[in-house]
Amino acid sequence: MANRQQGQTQLESQQNREALQQEIAILRVLKHKNAVAMIDSFETQNSTYILLEHCSEGDLKMFIEQFKSGQQAGDKESALDENDARYVIKQIVEGLNYLGQNLIMHRDIKRDNILVNRIAGRP
């Protein structure tokens, strides 16, 4: 019976650490209303932790699912209308524009990586 260890090589592990440190350095300087603020970061012997501001609505995937369930239930008040969708998309584009102006490329844009805060009177 063969035993195969699943893990990273030392080089892969070093590259991941360097990428994470670069991400932390970028997060430290981001200051924009559409970019999640980094509060702090720290390391333990085995892990690195990045503390981000709380985003009350979770990620965009959860946010959309919440409105889809309201719409399916026939609750017009819970459905995301076109104006709300336009507002959300505008916020995403403004955040991406800010990154681009600062020569930062996200490289992993997806619903799971877009965090949502509810603002009074908006979605």
Q: What is the pLDDT of residues 25-41, one digit of tens each?
A: 999 999 999 999 999 99
Band of residue 13 on the pLDDT scale cut at 50, 70, 90: confident
pTM across the whole model: 0.73
On the question of pLDDT at 121 being above 80, the answer is no
Arithmetic mean of pLDDT, 12-32: 89
Tokens of 12: 């892969």
pLDDT the model gives residue 83: 86
DSSP code per residue over 80-97: --HHHHHHHHHHHHHHHH
On the question of pLDDT at 94 being above 70, the answer is yes
Q: For the structural domain made of 10-113, what CATH number should be given?
A: 1.10.510.10
The domain segmentation of the chain, as residue ranges, is 10-113
Tokens of 56: 């009350």
Q: Name the catalytic one among 40, 59, 75, 108.
A: 108
112 is catalytic: no
DSSP code per residue over 32-63: -TTSPPEEEEEE-SS-EEEEE---TT-BHHHH
